[in-house]
Amino acid sequence: MSTPAVSDPGTWIRGIAIRQPWAACILAGKDVENRPRPWSWRGWLLLHAGLVLERAPLRDPLVATAIRGRQLEGGAVIGVARLTDCHQDSDDGKPCSPWSQRGAWHLVLTDVYELALPIPIRAGALGPWKPSQDLVGQVRLQLPHLHAPEGTS
C-alpha cells in the first residue's frame, strides 16, 4: 500500500503530545490546549495521545461529558487540528473558553479531525515536534483532504 505524496512535513505540520483525557476532549470540542509557554507555530498539528492518564480531571463534569463513550487511546496519533492562535486570557479576567486555565498560554485549535484508526507511535516532548513523512502519509490515508498549504515545500 502506498501513501499519498506530501511535501516535507517539517515545513507545514507538527505533532503535539497531549495527556489523556485532554486529547480525547479536543476531539470532542475542547478548543484550547493549555501550555506553560507561548508557541510561535501556527498550522496543522498531529494530536498524539500520550500514555499518561490524568485521573483527577475525570471527575470534572466538563471533562466527563466530553469523553462519555470515548475510548481513551494512549501512545497514538488520534487526530489533527489547526493551531490558529496562542494567547493568555485578557486582563478583565474573562476566560476565552470554558477549557482555558488561568495563567496558562492557550493554544487555540480549530478544524479538528479524528482518525478512525489511531496510529501508534512513540512521541517524546509535550512541545511541538516534527513528524516523519511516513507518519504524515499514514494520517493522509485517513484524511486525504489534509495537505500542505500553497507555497510550502
Domains in the chain: ranges and CATH = 9-142 (2.30.130.30)
- C-alpha to C-alpha distance for 10 and 6, rounded to whole angstroms: 11
**Triad 14, 17, 19: Cα angle to 5°:** 155
The chain-wide mean pLDDT, for the chain, equals 90
Instruction: Identify the pLDDT of residue 152.
Output: 59
Please give the DSSP secondary-structure letter assigned to residue 145.
T
Q: How confident is the model at residue 2 (pLDDT cuts 50, 70, 90)?
A: very low
Is residue 13 within 8 A of residue 83, CB to CB? The reply is no
pTM score of the predicted model? 0.90
- What pLDDT score was predicted for residue 69? 95
Cβ-Cβ contacts under 8 Å for 128 (sequence gap 6 or more): 14, 15, 16, 39, 41, 45
Residue pLDDT, tens place only, 16-58: 999 999 999 999 999 999 999 999 999 999 999 999 899 999 9
Question: Residue 1: is its pLDDT beyond 70?
Answer: no
115-138 pLDDT, tens digit per residue, is 999 999 987 667 789 999 999 999
Q: Give the separation between CA 136 and CA 123, rounded to whole angstroms.
A: 14
Burial of 27-45, coded b for 16+ CB within 10 Å and e otherwise, reads: bbebbbbbbeeebeeeebb
From the list 67, 79, 57, 139, the residue with the least C-alpha distance to 148 is 139
